[in-house]
Amino acid sequence: MSAQDAISALKRLGLSNYEARVFVALQQLGTATTAEISDVSEVPRSQVYGAADELVERGLTEVIESAPKQYRPVSLDAAREQLRSRVDRAEERAFDNLDALRTDEPDHRGGQDVSTLRGRQPIDERIAELVVDAADSVVLVAPATGSISTAIAGALRERAADGISVTVLTAESSLVERFDGDAVEVVLMNEDNPGDFAGRALLVDGSTVLLAAATERGEPVEEEAMWTADTSIGRILAQFMRSGMEFGTERGDGPNR
Protein backbone atom coordinates (compact mmCIF):
# COMPACT_ATOMS: atom_id res chain seq x y z
CA MET A 1 0.00 0.00 0.00
CA SER A 2 1.35 3.44 -0.90
CA ALA A 3 1.31 6.45 1.39
CA GLN A 4 -1.55 7.90 -0.66
CA ASP A 5 -3.55 4.68 -0.24
CA ALA A 6 -3.00 4.86 3.52
CA ILE A 7 -4.08 8.51 3.57
CA SER A 8 -7.25 7.70 1.62
CA ALA A 9 -8.07 4.82 3.98
CA LEU A 10 -7.59 7.01 7.07
CA LYS A 11 -9.85 9.69 5.59
CA ARG A 12 -12.56 7.06 5.17
CA LEU A 13 -12.14 6.32 8.88
CA GLY A 14 -12.89 9.92 9.75
CA LEU A 15 -9.56 11.77 9.71
CA SER A 16 -9.26 15.03 7.84
CA ASN A 17 -6.86 15.27 4.89
CA TYR A 18 -4.19 17.04 6.94
CA GLU A 19 -4.63 14.73 9.93
CA ALA A 20 -4.25 11.66 7.72
CA ARG A 21 -1.16 13.11 6.02
CA VAL A 22 0.46 13.99 9.34
CA PHE A 23 -0.30 10.58 10.82
CA VAL A 24 1.17 8.76 7.81
CA ALA A 25 4.26 10.99 7.91
CA LEU A 26 4.75 10.11 11.59
CA GLN A 27 4.68 6.41 10.69
CA GLN A 28 7.55 7.13 8.32
CA LEU A 29 9.49 9.43 10.67
CA GLY A 30 8.77 8.13 14.15
CA THR A 31 9.37 11.09 16.46
CA ALA A 32 9.47 14.36 14.51
CA THR A 33 9.17 18.11 14.70
CA THR A 34 6.52 20.07 12.84
CA ALA A 35 9.13 21.14 10.29
CA GLU A 36 10.09 17.53 9.58
CA ILE A 37 6.46 16.48 9.40
CA SER A 38 5.70 19.30 6.99
CA ASP A 39 8.52 18.27 4.66
CA VAL A 40 7.36 14.64 4.45
CA SER A 41 3.59 15.17 4.53
CA GLU A 42 3.48 18.23 2.26
CA VAL A 43 1.17 19.84 4.80
CA PRO A 44 1.89 23.55 5.35
CA ARG A 45 3.86 23.98 8.56
CA SER A 46 1.24 26.37 9.91
CA GLN A 47 -1.35 23.59 9.51
CA VAL A 48 0.76 20.79 10.99
CA TYR A 49 0.31 22.15 14.54
CA GLY A 50 -3.47 21.95 14.41
CA ALA A 51 -3.56 18.57 12.70
CA ALA A 52 -1.00 17.05 15.07
CA ASP A 53 -2.75 18.44 18.15
CA GLU A 54 -6.04 17.02 16.88
CA LEU A 55 -4.35 13.63 16.52
CA VAL A 56 -3.26 13.96 20.15
CA GLU A 57 -6.89 14.65 21.13
CA ARG A 58 -7.95 11.55 19.21
CA GLY A 59 -5.40 9.43 21.11
CA LEU A 60 -3.41 8.69 17.97
CA THR A 61 -0.29 10.74 18.70
CA GLU A 62 1.82 11.74 21.70
CA VAL A 63 3.22 15.22 22.12
CA ILE A 64 6.74 15.68 23.49
CA GLU A 65 7.11 19.02 25.24
CA SER A 66 10.59 19.80 24.03
CA ALA A 67 12.15 22.71 22.20
CA PRO A 68 11.08 22.49 19.49
CA LYS A 69 7.89 20.55 20.20
CA GLN A 70 7.88 17.01 18.81
CA TYR A 71 5.20 14.43 18.05
CA ARG A 72 5.30 10.64 18.16
CA PRO A 73 2.60 8.21 16.94
CA VAL A 74 1.07 5.65 19.28
CA SER A 75 1.44 1.99 18.33
CA LEU A 76 -0.56 0.72 15.38
CA ASP A 77 -2.54 -1.59 17.67
CA ALA A 78 -3.50 1.35 19.86
CA ALA A 79 -4.33 3.48 16.80
CA ARG A 80 -6.46 0.71 15.34
CA GLU A 81 -8.42 0.40 18.58
CA GLN A 82 -8.92 4.16 18.84
CA LEU A 83 -10.20 4.43 15.28
CA ARG A 84 -12.40 1.35 15.62
CA SER A 85 -13.99 2.75 18.79
CA ARG A 86 -14.55 6.07 17.06
CA VAL A 87 -16.22 4.42 14.06
CA ASP A 88 -18.36 2.25 16.35
CA ARG A 89 -19.51 5.29 18.33
CA ALA A 90 -20.28 7.22 15.17
CA GLU A 91 -22.24 4.27 13.79
CA GLU A 92 -24.21 3.91 17.03
CA ARG A 93 -25.05 7.63 17.10
CA ALA A 94 -26.08 7.62 13.46
CA PHE A 95 -28.47 4.70 13.86
CA ASP A 96 -29.83 5.98 17.16
CA ASN A 97 -30.66 9.25 15.41
CA LEU A 98 -32.20 7.44 12.46
CA ASP A 99 -34.30 5.33 14.81
CA ALA A 100 -35.52 8.48 16.57
CA LEU A 101 -36.47 10.04 13.23
CA ARG A 102 -38.51 7.07 12.05
CA THR A 103 -42.17 7.37 12.94
CA ASP A 104 -43.59 4.29 11.23
CA GLU A 105 -42.27 0.97 10.00
CA PRO A 106 -41.99 0.95 6.19
CA ASP A 107 -44.89 -0.79 4.49
CA HIS A 108 -43.72 -3.83 2.51
CA ARG A 109 -47.12 -5.39 2.05
CA GLY A 110 -48.20 -4.02 -1.26
CA GLY A 111 -48.41 -1.03 -3.52
CA GLN A 112 -48.61 -0.28 -7.17
CA ASP A 113 -44.90 -0.33 -7.92
CA VAL A 114 -41.88 -2.52 -8.63
CA SER A 115 -39.03 -2.42 -6.12
CA THR A 116 -35.42 -3.51 -6.48
CA LEU A 117 -32.99 -4.67 -3.82
CA ARG A 118 -29.27 -5.42 -3.79
CA GLY A 119 -27.38 -7.52 -1.25
CA ARG A 120 -27.95 -11.00 0.13
CA GLN A 121 -29.10 -9.98 3.61
CA PRO A 122 -31.67 -7.35 2.51
CA ILE A 123 -33.08 -9.85 0.01
CA ASP A 124 -33.24 -12.61 2.64
CA GLU A 125 -35.07 -10.24 4.98
CA ARG A 126 -37.56 -9.21 2.31
CA ILE A 127 -38.31 -12.83 1.39
CA ALA A 128 -38.93 -13.67 5.05
CA GLU A 129 -41.21 -10.63 5.45
CA LEU A 130 -43.24 -11.51 2.38
CA VAL A 131 -43.61 -15.11 3.56
CA VAL A 132 -44.81 -13.96 6.99
CA ASP A 133 -47.40 -11.72 5.31
CA ALA A 134 -48.80 -14.60 3.20
CA ALA A 135 -52.52 -15.19 3.58
CA ASP A 136 -53.09 -18.14 1.29
CA SER A 137 -50.02 -19.69 -0.34
CA VAL A 138 -46.25 -19.53 -0.66
CA VAL A 139 -44.05 -21.05 -3.35
CA LEU A 140 -40.29 -20.60 -3.06
CA VAL A 141 -37.85 -21.70 -5.75
CA ALA A 142 -34.59 -22.40 -3.91
CA PRO A 143 -31.70 -23.54 -6.14
CA ALA A 144 -29.36 -24.45 -3.28
CA THR A 145 -29.31 -25.08 0.45
CA GLY A 146 -27.87 -21.61 1.04
CA SER A 147 -30.87 -20.08 -0.73
CA ILE A 148 -32.89 -20.41 2.46
CA SER A 149 -31.59 -18.48 5.45
CA THR A 150 -32.54 -19.39 9.01
CA ALA A 151 -35.09 -16.55 9.07
CA ILE A 152 -36.66 -17.68 5.78
CA ALA A 153 -36.84 -21.29 6.96
CA GLY A 154 -38.49 -20.17 10.19
CA ALA A 155 -41.06 -18.09 8.30
CA LEU A 156 -41.86 -21.00 5.98
CA ARG A 157 -42.39 -23.36 8.91
CA GLU A 158 -44.50 -20.82 10.77
CA ARG A 159 -46.87 -20.17 7.88
CA ALA A 160 -47.12 -23.87 7.03
CA ALA A 161 -48.00 -24.62 10.65
CA ASP A 162 -50.74 -21.97 10.41
CA GLY A 163 -52.36 -23.90 7.57
CA ILE A 164 -50.96 -21.85 4.68
CA SER A 165 -49.93 -23.86 1.61
CA VAL A 166 -46.11 -23.66 1.56
CA THR A 167 -44.07 -25.30 -1.20
CA VAL A 168 -40.33 -25.28 -1.82
CA LEU A 169 -39.02 -26.27 -5.26
CA THR A 170 -35.37 -27.26 -5.27
CA ALA A 171 -32.68 -29.47 -6.79
CA GLU A 172 -31.03 -29.93 -3.37
CA SER A 173 -31.98 -33.17 -1.64
CA SER A 174 -30.64 -31.78 1.66
CA LEU A 175 -33.63 -29.43 1.79
CA VAL A 176 -35.92 -32.46 1.96
CA GLU A 177 -34.20 -33.45 5.20
CA ARG A 178 -34.14 -29.87 6.45
CA PHE A 179 -37.93 -29.65 6.40
CA ASP A 180 -38.56 -33.25 7.39
CA GLY A 181 -41.40 -33.37 9.88
CA ASP A 182 -42.65 -29.88 8.99
CA ALA A 183 -45.80 -28.99 7.08
CA VAL A 184 -43.65 -27.50 4.31
CA GLU A 185 -43.98 -29.41 1.03
CA VAL A 186 -40.63 -29.89 -0.73
CA VAL A 187 -40.64 -30.70 -4.45
CA LEU A 188 -37.30 -32.13 -5.55
CA MET A 189 -36.50 -31.77 -9.23
CA ASN A 190 -35.06 -34.86 -10.89
CA GLU A 191 -33.08 -35.61 -14.05
CA ASP A 192 -36.19 -35.40 -16.22
CA ASN A 193 -36.87 -31.94 -14.85
CA PRO A 194 -33.49 -30.55 -13.73
CA GLY A 195 -33.30 -27.63 -11.36
CA ASP A 196 -31.36 -25.33 -13.69
CA PHE A 197 -32.64 -22.23 -11.94
CA ALA A 198 -31.36 -18.78 -12.84
CA GLY A 199 -31.83 -17.75 -9.20
CA ARG A 200 -34.34 -17.61 -6.39
CA ALA A 201 -38.02 -16.92 -6.97
CA LEU A 202 -40.91 -16.36 -4.60
CA LEU A 203 -44.64 -16.39 -5.31
CA VAL A 204 -46.97 -15.34 -2.48
CA ASP A 205 -50.77 -15.50 -2.66
CA GLY A 206 -50.61 -15.78 -6.42
CA SER A 207 -49.90 -12.07 -6.92
CA THR A 208 -46.72 -11.08 -5.08
CA VAL A 209 -43.55 -12.04 -6.94
CA LEU A 210 -39.87 -11.71 -6.03
CA LEU A 211 -37.11 -12.71 -8.44
CA ALA A 212 -33.44 -12.73 -7.37
CA ALA A 213 -30.27 -13.62 -9.24
CA ALA A 214 -26.54 -13.28 -8.78
CA THR A 215 -24.90 -10.48 -10.74
CA GLU A 216 -21.32 -9.80 -11.77
CA ARG A 217 -21.30 -6.37 -10.17
CA GLY A 218 -18.66 -5.98 -7.51
CA GLU A 219 -16.59 -8.47 -5.56
CA PRO A 220 -17.78 -10.69 -4.08
CA VAL A 221 -20.56 -11.40 -6.54
CA GLU A 222 -23.74 -9.70 -5.36
CA GLU A 223 -27.35 -10.77 -5.58
CA GLU A 224 -29.99 -8.41 -6.93
CA ALA A 225 -33.74 -8.78 -6.75
CA MET A 226 -36.96 -7.19 -7.90
CA TRP A 227 -40.34 -7.67 -6.30
CA THR A 228 -43.84 -6.43 -6.84
CA ALA A 229 -47.28 -6.97 -5.37
CA ASP A 230 -50.74 -6.51 -6.90
CA THR A 231 -49.45 -4.94 -10.11
CA SER A 232 -49.97 -5.81 -13.75
CA ILE A 233 -46.38 -6.96 -14.14
CA GLY A 234 -46.68 -8.95 -10.92
CA ARG A 235 -49.72 -10.81 -12.20
CA ILE A 236 -47.97 -11.53 -15.50
CA LEU A 237 -44.84 -12.83 -13.77
CA ALA A 238 -47.01 -14.88 -11.41
CA GLN A 239 -48.72 -16.52 -14.36
CA PHE A 240 -45.37 -17.42 -15.92
CA MET A 241 -44.19 -18.87 -12.60
CA ARG A 242 -47.35 -20.93 -12.15
CA SER A 243 -47.14 -22.28 -15.69
CA GLY A 244 -43.49 -23.21 -15.29
CA MET A 245 -44.06 -24.91 -11.96
CA GLU A 246 -47.07 -26.84 -13.19
CA PHE A 247 -45.07 -28.06 -16.19
CA GLY A 248 -42.14 -29.00 -13.96
CA THR A 249 -44.10 -30.89 -11.36
CA GLU A 250 -46.00 -32.79 -14.05
CA ARG A 251 -42.69 -34.03 -15.47
CA GLY A 252 -41.13 -34.65 -12.07
CA ASP A 253 -41.96 -37.19 -9.41
CA GLY A 254 -43.87 -34.72 -7.25
CA PRO A 255 -43.25 -33.95 -3.61
CA ASN A 256 -40.37 -35.58 -1.78
CA ARG A 257 -40.85 -35.84 1.94
- What local confidence, expressed as pLDDT, does residue 103 receive? 62
Domain spans, the chain: 3-75, 114-251
Fold exhibited by the domain 3-75: Arc Repressor Mutant, subunit A (1.10.10)
- Per residue of the chain (257 residues), give pLDDT as tens: 688 888 888 888 888 999 999 999 999 998 899 999 999 999 999 999 999 999 998 888 998 888 888 999 888 888 888 888 888 888 888 887 777 777 655 554 444 578 888 888 889 999 999 999 999 999 999 887 788 999 999 999 999 999 999 999 888 888 888 998 899 999 887 655 544 567 899 999 888 899 998 876 555 557 888 888 877 777 777 777 766 565 544 444 444 44
> Which pTM does this prediction carry?
0.60
pLDDT at 1: 62
The pLDDT value recorded for residue 88 is: 83
CA 238, 240, 242, 244 dihedral sign is negative
* Topology given in CATH for the domain delimited by 114-251: Endonuclease; Chain A (3.30.870)
Torsion-angle region of 42 (φ positive above 0: left; ψ -120 to 50: alpha; else: beta): left
Give how far Cα 56 sits from Cα of 62, 90, 140, 251, Å: 6, 19, 56, 72
